[in-house]
Structure 1
Amino acid sequence: MKTPVNKVKIINDPIYGFITIPNQLIFELIEHPYFQRLRRITQMGMSNLVYPGAHHTRFHHAVGCMHLMQKAVTVLINKGVRITEDEKNGVFIAILLHDIGHGPYSHALENSIVDGVSHESISLLFMKELNKEFKGDLTLAIEIFEGRYPRKFLNQLVSSQLDIDRMDYLKRDSFYTGVAEGNISSERLIDMLNVVEGQLVVEEKGIYSVEKFIVGRRLMYWQVYLHKAGVVAEKMLVNLLARAKYLANKGVQLSSSRALNYFLYKDVEDAFTLETLKTFSRLDDYDILSAIKDWISHEDKILSQLSEMIINRNLLKVELSSKPYGEDYLQKVKDQMEEKGWSKEDLSYFFVHDTISNQAYSDISSKIYLYYKDGNIVDIVEASDQLNIQALTKPVVKHFLCYPKGIKIA
C-alpha cells in the first residue's frame, strides 16, 4: 500500500517564519531529487571563508522566493490585478525553480569544467525535463521564466531589477553573513507593488524602500559578494578545477565521485544531453569538496598546492586598485615569483589579474518605475531626490591582482 503524501506542508524559515507550500504539485516539485539537490549547493559559494555563517543553501533561497512570491501575488490581487489560478501556479513554480540549474559553489563550475553552459540554461533544461515528467503542468511556468508570457509583470516578478529573487537573496545573505547593510524591507517593497498597463510598478509611498534596496544592493556587492578574499577564493577554485580538467584531458587519473568524474573526462560544452543533465543532478558541493581534500596528496604539484591552500584557507595575496595595473608592475610581480621558484606554468594558476564591477542600478535595462496618484509613472532615478541613486547607475570597475604570499614588490 502506497503511503499517502502529506498535502499541506509547512517549512520553518529563519527569515520569514512559517512558509506554507501552496499545493500538491509544488510539494512534489520540492520533493523531487532535482530540487532536493539544492540542499547541497551553497548559496554564496566560497563566501563562508570570509563570513563563517554563510553556509545557507540554494534550497533556502528558492523556498524563500516562493514564499515572497505568494505574498506579492496576494498583494496584487487585493489591489484589483486579475491573476488566474494557472498564472499563480505558473509564477510560483517559475520562481521556485529559477536557480535549479546552479552547479556546485555557484558560478565556479561555469568557468571551469562545465565551461560555456550557464546555470540559467541548465535551469531551463531541468524545467523542461520536469515538465515532461509532470505531463505539461510546468508549461506556463516555463513561458514566464523565459519572458515569453504576454503578461509582462509576471516575468518582471521573476526577473527584473526589483524582482523577488533579489528581495530574498539580499535579506537572506544579510542575515547569514551578519552584514546589516543588506537587510532590506522586502515586505514593505512587496506591499507597495502594483501593476499599471501591464507593467510592474512601485507606488510612490515606497520610494524610500526602493532607495534603500538599491543602496543596500551596492553595499552588499562590495562588502560581501565582491569581498576581495571571497573573490580570490573563487578564482583559486576556478583555477583548481581548470587544472583538474587539464590533467583529465591529458589522461591523468584523478580520484573523484562518478558525477564529477563524468564532467572532468567529458566535454559537455556543445552537447548537454539528457544523460549529462541527469549526471549533473547528482553533482553538488560535496563532490567538489571531497575531491579537493583527496587531491592534496596528488602527485601534480599545482593541483596539490591549490587544494591544500583552499582547504586550509591559505589564500593568495590580493591587491585592489581603481586604476589598471601597469604592464611594468605586472611584470615585476611575475619576475619576483620566478625568482622565488615559481615556474611559467605555475603563473597560469597562482598569478591572477582581472577586474570586478558593480552596477547597483541600470537605467538602460528593466527600470524600476514609481507610480504616482496623478497617474504618472517615473523612473526611480528621476523620482529620487537622492543624488547617489543617479551615481549608482554608473558601473564601478576595480582591478585586482592575486599572487602568492611572500612576494614583495619594490
Structure 2
Amino acid sequence: MTTINKLKLLNDPIYGFIAIPNTLLYDLIEHPYFQRLRRISQMGMSYLVYPGAHHTRFHHALGCMHMMQKAVQVLRSKNIEISEEEETALYIAILLHDIGHGPFSHAMEHSIVENLSHESISLLFMNRLNEEFDGQLSLAIQVFKGQYHRKFMLQLISSQLDMDRMDYLKRDSFYSGVAEGNINSERLIQMINVNDDTLVVEEKGIYSVEKFIVARRLMYWQAYLHKTSVCAELILMRVLKRAKELTHKGKDLWCSNALQFFLKNQIFLEDFDENALEQFALLDDSDIIGALKSWQFHDDYVLSELSRMIINRDLLKIRLISEKVSKEEVEEMRLQWMTKNNRSKEEASYFIFKGKVKNQAYKKSEEPIRILKKNKEVVDVLDASDQLNLKALSKPVTKYFVCYPKTLLET
C-alpha cells in the first residue's frame, strides 16, 4: 500500500519554495472546493490591460499561507505564545479566506448572487468543510469570524496590514508588471509584534509601512481601478444582468448547468442551501467565457454586442473626469445613440452609463496600523509618520466616469 507524502514543497515565482505544513492543510488544498480557485483569476478583467495578469486565487491563497507561516515564526521568536492548534487555525483561516470568490473575482461579486459578498460565501464553504473534516476547522472559523479571544489573530487575517494584502500587492505587482505596487513584505513581517493583544509594527519598520500604503494607492489607480479594467468589469456585469432578464422572460440561453442555475434563480444568503453551494462550487471563469463565446451570436442585440465586446476586447469608450457627469449629458448621449441605431431607451441604458470609483489607501475609520515606539507607546501610523503625504493618502479620492459606444465619437 502506498501512502502519499502530504508535506509537499511548492515552487512559487515570488517566494521560492512554499511548504505545506501539515496533512490537514494538504487535504484542504486537495479538496475540489479549493482546487476551483485554480480557475478563478486573481485580478478579474485586468488581463485585458496587463497581459501577464493571468494568475489565480489559488496562487494567492498559497502565498498568504506562506506569509502567515513567516508571521508565526517571527512572533514566536519575540516570545508571543502561539499553540500548535492556534497556528493551524491561522493557516486554515488565511488559506480559505478567498474560497468564496466567484468567476473573475470581484468583477461579478453581486451579479451571480444577490448582494452577497465573497466573505459570506467563504464562511459557508468553511462551515461545509468543517462538517466534512469532523470539526477540525472550528477554531479557524472562530478566528475568521473574530470570535476568538486573541484579537491579534484576526488582525493577521483581516486588517489594514494583513497577510492577504501583503501577498496580493506583491503578487499582483509581479504579474501585472506594475512595479510601483511592489512591497518589502519580508521586512514588514520581520517588524510585526504583539502589544496588549494587538498587532503592532515596531518603530524601525515605519518606512516599510509608509511604502506599503503608497504602493497600495498606486496599485489601485494603475491596476485595480484602471479605467479599461473598470469598463470591462461593468460590461461583464451588464451581460449577466441581461442574461438573467432574458432567462426570466423564458428565452433559452446556452451555458453550463451551474451558470443556468444562477440565471434562473435569485439567490440571497437565506437561500444559500447545500444545493446552491454545490452549484456555486462548480462555477469558475470558464463558465463565463464559454457563455460569452456562445452569446456573442445570440439574436438579442444587447447580449450579443456586450459579449462580443469582451471576447474581442472591443470595449466601450470610458472617460474619467474629476467632476460628476450630469444626468442630462447621459440622457443626451443615449438619445443620440438611440436615434442613430434605431434602439430603445432600455437598450441604450446598457451601452451608455455613468458611475464613480473611489481610492482610499488608508482608512482612519477602520482599525489603524499601530506603530510601537521605542518608549513602548503605541500610536497610529499617521501620527508616527513624518510623511505629510501619508495624511493625504487617508483621504478618499473619487473619480467619475461615463461609458459610451465608440461610434458616438464619429458623429
Q: Deviations over 1:374-393 (max 9, x none)?
A: 11111000011111100011
Partner Cα distance (2:326, 2:350) in 1? 20
User: Could you tell me whether the CA contact under 8 Å between 1:295 and 1:304 is conserved in 2?
Assistant: yes
Instruction: State the one-letter code of the partner of 2:364.
Output: D
The equivalent residue for 2:226 is 227
User: Are the aligned partners of 2:89 and 2:143 in contact in 1 as well (CA < 8 Å)?
Assistant: yes
Mapped partners of 2:332, 2:251: distance in 1: 34
Distance 1:25 1:229 in 2: 41
Matches within 5 A, 1:212-223: 212-223=211-222
SS at match of 2:271: coil
Alpha-carbon separation, structure 1, partners of 2:30 and 2:327: 53
Q: Deviations over 1:183-215 (max 9, x none)?
A: 000000000000000000000000000000000
Contact kept? 1:211, 1:389, Cα under 8 Å: yes
Shift of 1:363: 1.4
* Aligned-partner Cα distance in 1 for 2:228–2:107: 15
Distance in 1 separating the partners of 2:330 and 2:265: 35
Would the aligned equivalents of 2:12 and 2:18 in 1 still touch at CA under 8 Å? yes
Local SS of the residue matching 2:109: helix
Which residue in the other structure is 2:119 paired with? 120
Question: How many corresponding residue pairs?
Answer: 409
Contact persistence 2:130–2:137 (CA under 8 A):
yes
Mapping of residues 12-161 of structure 1, within 5 Å: 12-161=11-160
TM alignment of 1:1-400, pairs within 5 A: 3-269=2-268, 270-341=270-341, 342-400=343-401
- Give the Cα separation in 2 of the matches to 1:253 and 1:107: 27
CA distance in 1, matches of 2:112, 2:132: 28
Q: Which runs of 5+ in 2 are unaligned?
A: none
Cα RMSD, aligned residues only: 1.2
Pair 1:141–1:355, CA change in 2 (3 A): same
Give structure 1 regions of 4+ aligned residues with deviation exceeding 4 angstroms: none
Determine helix, strand or coil for the equivalent of 1:153: helix
CA contact (8 A) 2:110 2:117 kept: no
Stretches of structure 1 that go unaligned for 5 or more consecutive residues are: none
Q: C-alpha separation between the residues in 2 aligned to 1:147 and 1:6?
A: 33
Query: Which stretch shifts more, 156-165 or 298-307?
Result: 298-307
Could you give the per-residue CA deviations for residues 356-385 of structure 1, whole angstroms, max 9, x where no partner exists?
Answer: 001100112110011012111110000111
Distance 2:258 2:331 in 1: 40
State the alpha-carbon separation in 2 of the partners of residues 40 and 239 from structure 1: 22
Distance 1:299 1:5 in 2: 52
- Asked if the contact 2:203/2:371 (under 8 Å) is kept, the reply is yes
CA distance in 2, matches of 1:132, 1:168: 29
Please state whether the residue corresponding to 2:105 is helix, strand or coil. coil
Deviations 1:272-323 (A, max 9, x none): 0101101111110001100110111111111111111110000000011111
- Over the matched positions of the two proteins, sequence identity in percent amounts to 60
Rounded to whole Å, the distance in 2 between the matches of 1:403 and 1:375 is 56
How many angstroms apart in 1 are the aligned matches of 2:37 and 2:327?
Answer: 43
Of 188-197 and 297-306, the range deviating more from structure 2: 297-306
CA distance in 2, matches of 1:7, 1:317: 50
Is the CA contact 2:330–2:353 (under 8 Å) kept in the aligned structure 1? Answer: no
Measure the CA separation in 1 of the matches of 2:305 and 2:251. 17
In structure 2, the residue corresponding to 1:407 is in which secondary structure? helix
What is the rounded CA distance, in whole Å, between the counterparts of 2:83 and 2:378 in structure 1? 26
Q: Deviations over 1:147-176 (max 9, x none)?
A: 111101000000000000000000000000
Counterpart of 2:294 in structure 1: which amino acid? Answer: D
Native 8 Å contact 1:62 1:95 kept in 2 = yes
Deviations 1:50-96 (A, max 9, x none): 00000000000000000000000000000010101000000000000
Structure 1 residue 336 displacement after superposition: 1.9
Q: Please identify, of 188-197 and 344-353, the stretch whose mean Cα deviation from structure 2 is larger.
A: 344-353
- For normalisation by structure 1, the TM-score amounts to 0.98
Counterpart secondary structure, 1:370? strand
TM-score normalised over the length of structure 2? 0.98
* CA deviation after TM superposition for structure 1 residue 409, in Å: 9.3
Contact 1:108 1:237 in 2 (8 A): yes
Q: How many Å separate the matches in 1 of 2:327 and 2:119?
A: 36
Distance (whole Å) between structure 2 residues aligned to residue 47 and residue 343 of structure 1: 31
- Contact 2:114–2:266 (8 Å) recurs in 1: no
The answer (yes or no) to whether the contact 1:171–1:182 under 8 Å persists in 2 is yes
